[in-house]
């Protein structure tokens, strides 16, 4: 049974704790430094999502997974989709996204926060996509975007899943126009990307963007 946003309790850390580790705007590759500190049991808690969406005093930790396919002929491709109205975050509707993932819920909770985070990411992936290929996973960075209303209350943890074949498919009707698209094409359409996706594109795939 799904849990409504008004009832769901999600994993958060105090924004001041994030600032204490080291404030940044945009993308940081310093994964070990931030995750080691932010996932400490003494800093994390589960709080009502409906309240946290309006409280910049806390950051909701969000796994943000990018699927990458290295096509021998057409170059690097990324899985992308357009968020439909059924997607949970209304402020991102109609935006093109490169990331799959979502909130870590108290229903994911296990013995440690690290294990809970991994379980939450696994659940979100299973809910949103079908992965019919082998892949390699790597956590490559974090996103903080205080320049948007959504970003002020979320902190993204970016994972790359490099797939052997482009067999990743949407599990949800509200993941529209889902499929792999070349990095060069995404650079041309970057104005339509949600801010986190644009930050990831520019930080992780800069050499494949336009020369000008």
Question: Could you tell me the CATH number of the domain that includes residue 60?
Answer: 3.90.79.10
Residue 212's pLDDT is what?
38
Q: How far apart are CA 164 and CA 141, in angstroms?
A: 22
Residue 110's pLDDT is what?
80
Q: Is residue 109 exposed (0-12), middle (13-18) or buried (19+ Cβ within 10 Å)?
A: middle
| Residue 110 included in any domain | yes
| Residue 1 included in any domain | no
CA angle 96, 102, 104 (to 5 degrees): 170
| Residue 76 included in any domain | yes
- Any idea what DSSP says for residue 89? -
Q: How far apart are CA 91 and CA 59, in angstroms?
A: 17
* Residue 40, C-beta contacts closer than 8 angstroms, at least 6 positions apart: 113
| Residue 158 included in any domain | yes
- Any idea what DSSP says for residue 34? H
Residue 23's pLDDT is what?
98
- The parent domain of residue 176 ranges over 9-205
Residue 155's pLDDT is what?
98
Residue 174's pLDDT is what?
82
| Residue 27 included in any domain | yes
Q: Which of 87, 100, 89, 83 is nearest to 151 (CA)?
A: 89
Structural domains counted in the chain: 1
Q: Per DSSP, which regions of 31-74 are E strands? A: 45-48, 58-71
Residue 5's pLDDT is what?
53
Residue 200's pLDDT is what?
98
Residue 173's pLDDT is what?
85
| Residue 210 included in any domain | no
Measured in degrees and rounded to the nearest 5, phi and psi for residue 9 equal -110, 130
Q: Sign (positive/negative) of CA torsion 33, 112, 63, 122?
A: positive
| Residue 80 included in any domain | yes
Q: How far apart are CA 80 and CA 186, in angstroms?
A: 9
Three-state DSSP state, 71: strand
**Tens place of pLDDT for every residue, the chain, 212 residues?**
345 555 899 999 999 999 999 999 999 999 999 999 999 999 999 999 999 999 999 999 999 999 999 999 989 999 999 987 654 545 544 789 999 999 999 999 887 888 999 999 999 999 999 999 999 999 999 999 999 999 999 999 999 999 999 999 999 888 889 999 999 999 999 999 999 999 999 999 986 444 43
| Residue 211 included in any domain | no
């Amino acid at each position: 049974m799904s849990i409504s946003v008004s009832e769901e309790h999600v994993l958060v850390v105090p924004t001041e704790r994030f600032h204490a580790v080291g404030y940044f705007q945009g993308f940081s590759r310093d994964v070990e430094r931030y995750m080691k500190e932010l996932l400490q049991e003494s800093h994390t808690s589960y709080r009502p999502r409906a309240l946290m969406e309006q409280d910049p005093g806390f950051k909701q930790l969000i796994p943000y997974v990018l699927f990458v396919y290295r096509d021998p002929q057409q170059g690097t491709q990324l899985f992308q989709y357009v968020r439909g109205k059924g997607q949970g975050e209304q402020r991102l509707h109609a935006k093109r996204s490169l990331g799959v993932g979502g909130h870590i819920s108290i229903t994911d909770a296990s013995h440690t926060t690290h294990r809970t985070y991994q379980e939450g990411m696994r659940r979100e992936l299973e809910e949103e996509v079908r992965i019919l290929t082998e892949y390699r996973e790597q956590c490559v960075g974090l996103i903080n975007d205080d320049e948007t209303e959504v970003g002020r209350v979320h902190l993204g943890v970016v994972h790359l899943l490099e797939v052997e074949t482009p067999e990743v498919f949407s599990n949800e009707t509200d993941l529209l126009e889902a499929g792999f698209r070349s990095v060069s094409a995404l650079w041309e359409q970057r104005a339509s990307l949600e801010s986190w996706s644009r930050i990831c594109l520019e930080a992780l795939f800069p050499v494949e963007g336009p020369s000008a």
